[in-house]
Amino acid sequence: LTAPVEIMRCLKSIKEYAFCASTYPLVITLEDHLTADLQAKVAGMITETFGDLLYVPSSDTLNEFPSPEALMRRIIISTKPPQEYREFLKAQGDQKISGNADKLAEEGNLRRIDSNADDSDGKDEPDDEDDEESEEEDPKFQPDTACEYRKLITIHAGKPKGRMRDALKVDPDKVRRLSLSETQLGKATASHGADIIRFTQRNILRIYPKGTRINSSNYDPMKAWTHGAQMVAFNMQGHDKSLRLMQGFFRANGGCGYVKKPDFLLKTGPNGEVFDPKASLPVKKTLKGESVYGGRVAHGLQ
């Protein structure tokens, strides 16, 4: 329902205004429905447009994300990596693969980088991002063609398929980004709250509004933030309470776009334990307001 815009116009606009408000790193999330040859073409456009502003990781996968401080005035790409089709064939050994494209695509799904599992319902939610039926699974896929595109991806993205506990497993050898809808997050926090916090200590969690919010309303972002989610997406068309919360939340740290998590979401105990959102903890400090005198409020905290 929206008119197309040339990608070069978008890239040039991003470059022009990327660091007007803040010098902290800018993350571009791409919704990629491109064939391999177009991925290679887009890789050339991105490299040519951003030049030295573009952060290119030194290895195919990172075992730790660089800090925002280390990426000042840099642009970072986040998207699903292309399917490694040649690796899939090699893993199959001498197994014969039929010419049936549908069957091949289904088997190829097993090798997708983003097949990290979840018991999501998702049936009532049209995907606003990672379409599972992408051209990456075409049997004609040539991984060499999109090699340059893959090299530009710093944050490898994916969506859960299967059990949520498996989707939230932490891989010590690589970091990634997981996307959940607000509905998936609600279910996950009810049963896997500590797992989410452990996941977000090393990896990136992105939350987005469910697709049935056709009136561009928003969900309460506090549940996502208090469980460590770094990317909490909003519908920006209105100006509801959730947007005001977001605007107030990110006034912290000089309005640079990044707010440090509280220590309790970052700490790990001697046995690997993390903060339990359901734990009943004692009150450490009570804040009280002062009385009103002569129509003026004397503010004070104890």
CATH of the domain at 250: 3.20.20.190
Are 78 and 186 in a shared domain?
no
Q: What is the DSSP string of 203-248?
A: SEEEEE--TT-TT-----THHHHHTT-SEE----SS--HHHHHHHH
213: left (phi over 0), alpha (psi -120 to 50) or beta: beta
> What is the rounded average pLDDT for all residues in the chain?
81
End-to-end CA distance of the chain: give it in Å, rounded. Answer: 55
Are 72 and 163 in a shared domain?
no
What is the average per-residue pLDDT within 211-223?
93
Are 15 and 153 in a shared domain?
yes
Identify whether 117 is part of a domain.
no
pLDDT on residue 289: 76
Residue 295's Cβ-count burial label (10 Å; 0-12, 13-18, 19+) is exposed
Q: Which two tokens stand for residue 223?
A: 């549940």
pLDDT on residue 86: 40
Share of the chain above pLDDT 90, in %: 58
How many domains does one find in the chain?
2
Are 151 and 16 in a shared domain?
yes
Q: Are 179 and 129 in contact (CB under 8 A)?
A: yes
pLDDT on residue 201: 97
Are 164 and 227 in a shared domain?
yes
Q: Are 141 and 84 in contact (CB under 8 A)?
A: no
Identify whether 3 is part of a domain.
no
Are 149 and 169 in a shared domain?
no
Are 149 and 54 in a shared domain?
yes
What is the average per-residue pLDDT within 263-286?
90
Are 153 and 224 in a shared domain?
no
What is the average per-residue pLDDT within 248-263?
94
Pick the more confident residue, 123 or 22.
22
Identify whether 274 is part of a domain.
no
What is the average per-residue pLDDT within 266-294?
84
Are 247 and 198 in a shared domain?
yes
Identify whether 287 is part of a domain.
no
Residue 99 has pLDDT above 80, yes or no: no
What is the average per-residue pLDDT within 259-263?
94
* Host domain of residue 82: 10-89+143-157
Are 74 and 208 in a shared domain?
no
Indicate the pairing of strand 153-158 with strand 177-181.
parallel
Identify whether 113 is part of a domain.
no
**Residue owning tokens 């107030």:** 248
Are 147 and 192 in a shared domain?
no
Q: Which residues contact 7 (CB under 8 A, 6 or more apart)?
A: 42, 45
User: What is the tens place of the pLDDT at every residue in 15-73?
Assistant: 999 999 999 999 999 988 888 889 999 999 999 999 999 999 988 889 999 999 999 99
Pick the more confident residue, 99 or 111.
99
Are 149 and 211 in a shared domain?
no
pLDDT on residue 145: 56
What is the average per-residue pLDDT within 84-111?
45
Q: Which two tokens stand for residue 3?
A: 């008119």
Identify whether 14 is part of a domain.
yes
Residue 252 has pLDDT above 60, yes or no: yes
Least trusted range by pLDDT, from 72-76, 259-263, 274-278 = 274-278
pLDDT on residue 144: 59
